[in-house]
């Protein structure tokens, strides 16, 4: 096996969740409203600006996705469009790794890139995640849906995995 072979890969898309579908519906309504105001005499730059900014914000949320990779040396994530490059957690920097169940709403105030006083969380949907405790004391929680495959990868690559 090559050093860069990935044992586990997962892509989670916000558009596949009910929140994503709701955002997509809002996006369609905004497009219709923009065309309506543009084609009628009701056009003014202020309302166009507000609608366009709202359209961009909803569009960015709609295309959000979280990519997680585990290979022999590291766990990497990329939360598009917020991370343009991968965030890497090297095995030598990791103190321990756990698969945990959490409540995104009560623990972090929802999904996305969130943090509380102790943990920075990256999640799109669901309530399972990889809790990484770094040797520096920082903790990162990465939302996952394929937790059985993650467990296999963590064990195979000897990440200091602690089963709860």
Local mean pLDDT, 10-residue blocks, the chain (164 residues)? 67 71 77 74 72 79 86 92 88 94 90 89 90 95 90 85 71
**What is the pLDDT, as a whole number, of residue 130?**
94
**What is the pLDDT, as a whole number, of residue 41?**
64
State if pTM tops 0.85: no
**What is the pLDDT, as a whole number, of residue 140?**
96
Which of these, 78, 84, 74, lies nearest to 132 by C-alpha position?
Answer: 74
Which of these, 98, 127, 122, lies nearest to 112 by C-alpha position?
Answer: 122
**What is the pLDDT, as a whole number, of residue 1?**
45
Tokens at 152, concatenated: 């296999």
Per the CB < 8 A criterion, the answer to whether 67 and 10 are in contact is: yes
Which of these, 65, 83, 59, lies nearest to 143 by C-alpha position?
Answer: 65
């Amino acid at each position: 096996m090559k050093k860069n072979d990935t044992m586990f890969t997962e892509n989670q898309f916000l558009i596949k969740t009910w929140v994503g579908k709701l955002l997509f519906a809002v996006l369609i309504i905004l497009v219709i409203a923009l065309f309506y105001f543009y084609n009628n005499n009701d056009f003014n730059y202020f309302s166009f600006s507000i609608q366009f900014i709202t359209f961009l914000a909803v569009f960015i949320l709609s295309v959000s996705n979280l990519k997680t990779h585990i290979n022999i040396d590291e766990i990497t994530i990329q939360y598009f469009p917020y991370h343009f490059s991968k965030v890497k957690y090297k095995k030598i920097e990791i103190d321990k790794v756990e698969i945990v169940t959490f409540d995104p709403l009560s623990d972090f105030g929802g999904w996305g890139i969130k943090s509380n006083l102790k943990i920075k969380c990256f999640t799109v949907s669901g309530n399972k995640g990889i809790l990484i405790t770094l040797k520096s004391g920082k903790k990162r929680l990465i939302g996952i849906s394929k937790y059985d495959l993650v467990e296999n990868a963590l064990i195979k690559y000897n990440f200091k995995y602690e089963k709860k």
